[in-house]
Structure 1
Amino acid sequence: MNHSRRAAIKTTGALATLVSLGVITQSQAQAAVDRAAFDLKTLDDALKAVGGKPATSDQVTVVSPDIAENGAVVPVGATSKLPNTTEIFLIVEKNPMPLSCGFTIPAGTVAEVQTRLKMGQSTNVIAVVKADGKLYSATKETKVTLGGCGG
């Protein structure tokens, strides 16, 4: 799929109209906009979907085991020490669909998230953080001994 800026604006406008008419709720509209990014197949496409290529920052940390014995349930997290962090995304580079999850960080809260992800093989886990409208990232390699995506 070719997701251009123009198509995104059209989709957002259409969803805003549906919300204002009461046809759908705001949360349904938000889910519809974000869902397409999770179907992208390449790392570059996933990075474009979250806003572009991030700069590496020592203020962003990926929390992931060095070795995961079971790729079906790998505990992964991210922490941002950057002020005004608004979003955190976790990307698993070699997964069939790299963008695994995204979190909205409310103002005034600690920018720290944790979840469990499925990993098919040893790969890099990338945390992308949006702070003050800019993107920052950190990467950590996790080795998987038993794949979680059917391996």
Structure 2
Amino acid sequence: MKSDHGAGAISRRHLLAGAAGSAVLVTLRPAGAAPANRTETTESAIRRFAGDAEIRSGRVSLDLPPLVENGNTVPLTVSVESPMTEADHVRRIGVFNEKNPQPNVVTLHLGPRAGRAHVATRIRLADTQRITAIAEMSDGTYWSASADAIVTLAACLEG
């Protein structure tokens, strides 16, 4: 079957092949290339999240293994003590790290309909470091918890 696409038209097959080739070219780096510079500190990422508000310890529970064999897949659980009602609930949870290329691992947006403030996921860790979780409550207060993870096989390294 022959299709008339007009002069200069690109077939779907050529477009997809070109896009796949571009994706590969973007992600490949020459051997021995220097890793990308970390453009933001953990403290500045936390300040971008919480502004000038006081961040108190408590109400947040951060669970991750203290010894991680492989930084490519690290289980992480964050829970926040909250009734999750319209008057008292968690608005956001931010997770931050010290040594990954990007200091803000994830920002989660919640509301009273979430039922409970409990999130479990897996993250990548570039090296042994401290992870901090901060919860923004509906009353404007911020609560946090931190945990250290020793990583024996690093992930997230750009190079």
**Secondary structure in 2 matching 1:133:** coil
Partner of 1:44: 43
What is the deviation of 1:41? 2.0
- 1:149 aligned partner, one-letter code: C
What residue is the counterpart of 2:76 in the other structure?
76
- Structure 1 residue 54, shift from structure 2 partner: 4.8
Give the conservation status (yes or no) of the 8 Å contact 1:62–1:138: yes
1:56 paired residue number? 56
Alignment of 1:1-40 (within 5 A): none
Aligned length: 113
Matches within 5 A, 1:85-96: 85-96=90-101
Aligned-pair identity in percent equals 27
Post-superposition, which runs of at least 4 consecutive aligned residues in structure 1 deviate over 3 A? Answer: none
* CA distances 1:41-79 after superposition (whole Å, capped 9, x unpaired): 211221122123652322111111111111011111211
SS of the residue aligned with 2:112?
Answer: coil
Per-residue deviation, residues 77-105 of structure 1 (Å, max 9, x unmatched): 21100341111111112212110101111
Classify 1:45/1:71 alpha carbon distance in 2 versus 1 (closer, same or farther; 3 Å). Answer: same
After superposing the two structures, state which structure 1 stretch, 53-62 or 133-142, moved more: 53-62
8 Å contact kept, 2:77–2:120:
yes
Instruction: Give the structure 1 partner of residue 6 of structure 2.
Output: none
Q: Structure 1 unaligned segments of length 5 or more: list them.
A: 1-38
The structural deviation recorded for 1:149 is 2.0
Residues 19-47 of structure 1: CA deviation (Å, up to 9, x unaligned): xxxxxxxxxxxxxxxxxxxx852112211
1:119 aligns with 2:95: no
SS in 1 for 2:43: helix
Structure 2: which 5+ runs fail to align?
Answer: 1-37, 83-87
In 2, the alpha carbon distance for the partners of 1:149 and 1:87 equals 25
Structure 1 letter corresponding to 2:89: N
Instruction: Name the counterpart of 2:102.
Output: 97
Q: Alpha-carbon deviation of 1:136?
A: 1.2
TM-score (norm 1): 0.68
Q: Report the aligned-residue RMSD.
A: 1.9
**Is contact 1:74-1:119 (8 Å) kept?**
yes
